[in-house]
Structures are given as C-alpha cells and as structure tokens.
Amino acid sequence: MAKLTNKREENLGGYIVHGIPFPIETDPDSLAFLKKMAPIQIEQPYAITYLHSYGQDSPWFAAVSNKKLLTTQDPESGYTYGTPRGHDMYSGSETVWIDITDRPAKVHAFTVCHFGSEEFLPETPFVLALVQFEGVNTLFLTRLLGVDPDEASLDWIEMPVEPRFLRNSKLKPTDVYFVPASG
C-alpha cells in the first residue's frame, strides 16, 4: 500500500514574487492597514506564438524566397504595379501575377537614411531607393546596396540596377535588395 503524505511538495515554478509585506503584529480586529499595502507583483515567464499571414501577398514572398521578383498587372488595362496589389486601383478588377525579375530597372529616386528602426539601426547609414522597371507603371521601394551612402550623388538617378536576394530567406520585404547593374 502506498504511503500517503499530508504535505504537497512545493517549488516556485519559475515565479518570483515581489512585495508581500503582511505585518505579523497588528490589531486582529482592524485590517485597515491593508488599504495602504503595496500591490503584490508576480514575475513569471511568458511566451506567445504569433501566427501572421501574408494573405494575398504570399506568392510575392514565395517568389522572393526562390530568387524571383513578381508584381501584379490589371489584365484588362495592362496597368502594372511595382509593389503588388490584389486589385486594380482604378477598375477594382483582380490583378494577375507577372515575373519582372529580368526586366531592366533603374533608380528613380533615393534617400540616405541615417536613422532607422531597431532592425536597421546597425546598418545606418543606408540607402533607400525607388526603382523603376521597364513596362511597370509604379515604383518599387527597396534598399540600394553596393553604393557608398557617404558619397551620395545625383549620378545615381537613372543608374541601372538589378535585384539580389538573400541566400536564406527571412520571408520579409528586405529579402530582396538592389545593386548597380553589372553589365
């Protein structure tokens, strides 16, 4: 027969408790002091799994992961977007995916960023560029590498560029960037 115990084994279970100031010597008939008690705080590990969907943009991220650059086009008018859209902004009709990986591209405009979010802070200064593709009606915002941000020049405007892709995709827009064209 198993031996029963009257005590339950205790452990802190990863919790750290702060501020349990309960006076031992007090008037047992008055607990008014409790209104002045500081709040008890419990420190414990907390984890969350965040599920994010790229929804209708999923084909773009899948393509970039496979070293391809896609965009969308209105099948009726032929209006083509640098940054993909699920529906045409004029007619509202559903767009179709097209591959623009090998299309000629050039810098339309750029800026040198000396400040950035936490993710980009180690890379500052960096160059953001609006890239214009042949046969595409709107521009594509991206990073421009292979140029010296401290030597920014108007000569970069209309400079031919080509896409490069991270070797190991992070499934982020920054998986593609542009460099001066080699040819």
pLDDT tens per residue, range 80-90: 999 999 999 99
**Which pLDDT score is estimated for 134?**
97
pLDDT at 1: 60
Whole-number pLDDT of residue 135: 96
| Structure token digits, residue 160 | 């031919």
Q: Digits of tens for pLDDT over the chain (183 positions)?
A: 666 666 666 666 667 777 676 666 666 666 777 777 777 777 878 889 988 888 899 999 999 999 999 999 999 999 999 999 999 999 999 999 999 999 999 999 999 999 887 777 788 899 999 999 999 999 999 999 999 999 999 999 999 999 999 999 999 999 999 999 997
Instruction: Output the pLDDT for position 2.
Output: 62
8-state DSSP, 40? P
Give the whole-angstrom CA distance, residue 1 versus residue 115: 71
Name the nearest CA neighbour of 123 among 141, 151, 149, 142: 149
Asked if 101 contacts 68 with a C-beta cutoff of 8 angstroms, the reply is yes
- What's the rounded Cα separation, in Å, for the pair 79 and 91? 10
pLDDT tens column, 136-172:
999 999 999 999 999 999 999 999 999 999 999 999 9
